[in-house]
Structure formats: structure tokens, C-alpha cells
Amino acid sequence: MDATKQRFYKEMTVGDAIALHPEAGLVFSSYHLGGCSHCSINEFETIEQVCQGYGVEAEVLLDSLNNLFADEEDEE
């Protein structure tokens, strides 16, 4: 993913991430973050805080989020 600009970062809030890309919420859900009542996440928490709270490696989640834009760049 070296060629893809990092648009998501650890200090970004979940709300900002979801606003940045319409499929970001699906990525969070794929890591079982915010997809159900017992694993809800707060839109004001940072990506790093959410990852720490649920034991998800931040870099892995960020790679998945940033790959949303890599897919769009491939289509161009």
C-alpha cells in the first residue's frame, strides 16, 4: 500500500473516519467494532482508542481503511 496516500490516521475520530468514506463503517464492522450492541464505538473516540479498547492492531485497521481509497485509485 505504499503508493496510497494515508487518509486515515490513529488520531482521527471514528466520526471523522466514517464521514471521510461511505464504506468506513463496514470496515469497522468487519473488525467487530460498532457492529452490535455490546461492541459499540463512540464517534468521538479516536481510531487508536477504539483499537486499544478492543484489542485490534491499529496499523492493520488503518491499512484496511486506507485500502478503501486504493480501490478507487485503481479504478481511475
Amino acid at 55: G
Give the model confidence (pLDDT) of 20-41 as tens digits. Answer: 999 999 999 999 897 666 667 8
Rounded to whole angstroms, how far apart are CA atoms 73 and 26?
A: 19
Q: How many residues comprise the chain?
A: 76
**Domain ranges within the chain, ordered by starting residue:** 14-75
pLDDT at 1: 44
This prediction's pTM:
0.83
